[in-house]
Amino acid sequence: MRRTVPEGHGPVRYGPPPPDQGLSVLPGLSSVLAASADRAEPEPSGGGAALREAAGAYWAVRGLPADRDRVVAAPGAPALLLAVTGALGGDVLLPRPCAAWWAPQANLLGRSVFPVATPAECGGVPDPYALLETVRRVRAEGGDPRLLVLSVADDPTATVAPPEVVHEAVEAAVAEGLHVVSDETWRDTLHRPQDTVLLSPAEMLPDAVTVLTDLSGAFLPTSWPAAIARFPATDRGAALRARVLDVLASLGARVAEPVATAAAYALHEPAEVTERVTAAVRLHARVAVAAHRAVTGAGALARPPRAGRHLYADLSPLRSALAVRGVGDAQELEDFLTARLGAPAPGGHRFGDDLAELRVRLSTGPLLGATEAERTRALAAAEPLELPHVEQALTSFASAFDDLRDDAGRGEPPR
């Protein structure tokens, strides 16, 4: 049951970055960062008191109180996950598909990674029965599963797992002695927060769950790396946090002082920040609905996006039309759509899916406009889909899939 990695089809070990907001940096954030740019002293490993207190305040608002001694900060979520994986030891279980950056952390440490199927209604969280079977088989083969990483609001599938699915999966994991890392990077990007219930595993079984949040999800530009982790309020949680701090210190993984100051400002959620987050989520949600309609209207499959700035499409119903274009697997699909759309379209193999499956993650950011001025207009517009540049971008996007549908229907060579 050893994991296999397809070779010869692109750099599969290092996946694409998370979908970018595509928007200008908030003036308030820029001012805060600039004001601290002349500070020469480094932020301590694990984050300074101000950043950790701001993280605790952020989580308290979301029903997950945490004092600063339970919080750790690092320059990006990959560094945090690497440290947690190194501190826990053992094998790692991941839902399939999953965020592109999860598996490389375990691979760097020489840990075995085992994929677990997800239920039909969502991604990000493993099917509980598949999880139990995977744990049983790994142990029967001499493995040592210790860590499950999951995400309720998911990259790449853009789904939000129902509370009952989360509850069953986390209960199964904890019953088998696994520690759970809940990646909640996208929890603040729910498209319809009034209609969507997001249940953090830490609300259910707080003694067995570490929460991880990359601030590039909703609050900071991706070029300002900062992430926070919340550890259980137990002796084991304190010991895990201490080991994580040791790993971060050995790596020199410190948040840059200006970025830490900006992150603390954002986590306290002043009006400027919350208004931008709300507006950005609303814009990406509107565009995601239109992109989803275009993809499914052409005959491809995709769950409706519920969070984030992306959707995950399965083009297997269009396989015949793709085949005549020389596209037979996910890497070739990535190459084809990246060229056709003029924007990155990473294949499903980068997220742990089978190379033979014709799946791809599509981001909404490139559809907001080609320039900062166009994207700013889209953010401010009451009806962004009616702006000429957004309408044109969506039309071009849809035509790439409509051409495949038409050729598949006629059984003719591509135009």
Is 344:298 a contact under the CB 8 Å cutoff? no
Task: Give, in order, the Cα–Cα distances in Å from 83 to each of 6, 99, 212, 240, 367.
Answer: 26, 17, 12, 10, 36
List the chain pLDDT tens, one digit each, 415 residues: 333 444 444 544 456 888 888 899 999 999 999 999 988 778 899 999 999 999 999 999 999 999 999 999 999 999 999 999 999 999 999 999 999 999 999 999 999 999 999 999 999 999 999 999 999 999 999 999 999 999 999 999 999 999 999 999 999 999 999 999 999 999 999 999 999 999 999 999 999 999 999 999 999 999 999 999 999 999 999 999 999 999 999 999 999 999 999 999 999 999 999 999 999 999 999 999 999 999 999 999 999 999 999 999 999 999 999 999 999 999 999 999 999 999 999 999 999 999 999 999 999 999 999 999 999 999 999 999 999 999 999 999 999 999 999 887 776 554 4
Any residues with CB less than 8 A from the CB of 363 and at least 6 apart, and which? 19, 20, 309, 310, 343, 344
Helix axes 49-61, 257-267, angle to 10 degrees: 30
**Predicted pLDDT of residue 413:** 54
Return all residues near 239 (Cβ < 8 A) that are at least 6 apart. Answer: none
Q: Could you give the count of Cα atoms lying within 13 Å of 41 in the half-sphere of its Cβ?
A: 5
pLDDT at 411: 60
Return d(Cα 325, Cα 309) in angstroms, integer.
28
pLDDT of residue 4: 40
Element (H, E) at 291: helix 271-297
pLDDT for residue 82: 97
Q: Which strands, in side-by-side order, build the sheet including 91-96?
A: 71-74, 227-230, 209-214, 179-183, 145-150, 91-96, 113-117
Rounded-to-10 torsion of CA 174, 180, 184, 185: -160
How far apart are alpha carbons 227 and 402 in whole angstroms? 40
Roughly how many angstroms between the first and final C-alpha of the chain, as a whole number?
43
CA angle 232, 148, 52 (to 5 degrees): 35
Tokens 């992150």 belong to 263
User: CA nearest 244: which of 75, 86, 70?
Assistant: 86
Task: Say which amino acid occupies 84.
Answer: V
Give the number of C-alpha atoms closer than 13 A to the C-alpha of residue 302, restricted to the C-beta side: 31
Lookup: tokens for 267 = 């986590």
pLDDT for 167 equals: 97
Burial class (CB in 10 A: 0-12, 13-18, 19+), 241: buried
Alpha helices in 89-162 (DSSP H): 102-108, 128-140
CA–CA–CA angle 263, 264, 265 (5° rounding): 90
Can you say whether residue 34 is alpha, beta or left, with left for phi > 0 and alpha for psi between -120 and 50 degrees?
Answer: alpha
3-state helix, strand, coil in the chain (%, to 5): 45, 15, 40
